[in-house]
Structure 1
Amino acid sequence: MATSVASPSPVTARRTTIAMKLVMAVSGALFVLYVIAHMYGNLKVFGGQQAFDDYSEHLRSLGEPILPYSGFLWVLRIVLIFALLAHVYSAFYLWSRAQGARTTGYAVKKAVAATISARFMRWGGVALLFFLVFHLLQFTTNTIRANGDYPSPYQRVVAGFQVWWVVLIYVIAMVALGMHLRHGIWSAAQTLGWTSSARARGTANTLAIIVATVVVVGFLLPPLSILVGFVK
């Protein structure tokens, strides 16, 4: 006699969906804080080699002697890896739930404003994952040496961004990041219940646009300034 596996009840499925949205919102918030801090660090390049190299060394010695040399960076990397896994898993779970819901059909479909950032959210996230691997191979492990190998972090950054195709990859990735941030911050605000009124929705949307714009401009200033020769 065949036994059937009971499917999750609508209440359980709804609770799981809400939980996944919270996971996505919290993990996304961690990444927003990280990219802002990373953007600030990148802007140190305008202070010259000494300022940038001192900043890079400070990150490695942060937490000593409680933590070993580079210990803080490894703790940060581990936290970010777990946050990334949680973010990706929740994203694909919610996507699969949405796809399943579409196949069964709805009596009434809710109209959703289709912004550019929303339409490219999923594939933009995949593109960012590939860029993250490229970025780590270039500036963390020093595996990709687009314009020579240098001992100084400042020299590696300047040499790397003197190559036009490296800057082009960076520009495309930052545009994708801006779209991801704009839509992600808005979605997180909705998940956390911060868009219950028209005024709150307007505030959340404005905040999302401001954060996305500041991050994109802040990240693009160093590579473009290096490419045109303003920073050498």
Structure 2
Amino acid sequence: MTTTTPRPATQAEQGTTAPRALPRWYRSTVFLKTVMAVTGVMLLLFLTAHMIGNLEVFRGEESFDGYAHWLREIGEPILGHSWFLWILRVVLLAAVLLHIGTATALARRARRARPVRYAHRPPVQGTYAARTMRWGGVIIALFVVYHILDLTAGVLNPVGAPGRPYTNVTADFQLWYVTAVYTVAVLVLGLHLRHGVWSATRTLGRHRPGLERVTSVAATAYAVVMTVGFLSVPFAVAVGWVE
């Protein structure tokens, strides 16, 4: 009597039921990468504006507090007081959730496509960048929660004075451990931004052999500028340039 060993189901056959229940465009890896790139660009625009706004602290308390109050008045009288900020927060939250969701989906697809690890895998830049993006994303997400509780809600701020952002910022960075946490988070953000800008540029159609070097340099330059810009405030407070 001859026994026949069942043929293992292919990856497509194993995932026939759940994936095919989704629209074809959603199941597309290209679509997920595009969503990740677009939401990443949205977050980059916010971070750039946020960093520039932070530099108002160097113009003094009146200027920095005035800038913070102006943000709450954008759109008036069509929008109510602080409505613009709440709309922005909702949009950013949606962008963050989509960014994390698509990143997770793509990572799972990559693992399913290669269920067995390579016995001898050559070290490549892409592997290091992927690992950095994963743990970096977790650190950034945790820091954002802390940052909101600190300077937005004022719960973790040493002063937590409502309507006095300059006082809250300077009180924060007079504490060495707050400056240290902020520094680590910003350095991780810089690494994340560098790879994110480079990857988004390729995904959105600028992957050309002649522009590869230019894209890499531009991504690195942007990440450095953002890192220095964000770190300039806590270090200026720590050394007494801003009081």
TM-score by length of 1: 0.89
Give the letter aligned to residue 228 of structure 2. Answer: V
Distance 2:183 2:150 in 1: 16
Number of corresponding residues: 223
1:217 to 2:191 alignment: no
* 1:153 corresponds to 2:162: no
The reply to whether residue 52 of structure 1 matches residue 61 of structure 2 is: no
Distance 2:97 2:15 in 1: 28
Structure 1 residue 75 corresponds to structure 2 residue 110: no
Shift of 1:206: 1.1
Give the aligned partner of residue 166 of structure 1: 178
Matches within 5 A, 1:27-38: 27-38=39-50
By how many angstroms is 1:195 displaced? 1.4
| Structure 2 letter corresponding to 1:213 | V
Find the aligned partners of 1:50 and 1:195 in 2 and give their Cα distance: 46
Q: 1:115 & 1:62 partners in 2: Cα distance?
A: 43
Q: Which residue of 2 aligns with 1:123?
A: 135
Shift of 1:150: 2.6
**The residue matched to 2:104 in structure 1 has which SS?**
helix
The answer to whether structure 1 residue 96 and structure 2 residue 108 are counterparts is: yes
Q: 1:71 to 1:13 in 2, by over 3 A?
A: closer
Partner of 1:6: 16
* Offset at residue 230 of structure 1 (A): 1.2
CA distance in 2, matches of 1:125, 1:190: 20
Contact 1:117 1:182 survives alignment (8 Å): no
State the identity %: 43
**Aligned residues: CA RMSD:** 2.3
Alignment CA distance shift 1:13-1:66 (3 Å): closer
Bigger Rg over Cα = 2
The residue type equivalent to 1:73 in the other structure is L
Q: In 1, distance between residues paired with 2:15 and 2:202?
A: 34
Alpha-carbon deviations, 1:30-51, whole Å to 9, x = none? Answer: 0110000000011100000000
**CA–CA distance in structure 1, aligned partners of residues 129 and 66 of structure 2:** 37
* Mapped partners of 2:117, 2:205: distance in 1: 27
1:231 aligns with 2:223: no
Contact 2:26–2:32, Cα closer than 8 Å, also in 1: no
Q: Distance in 1 between matches of 2:33 and 2:49?
A: 24
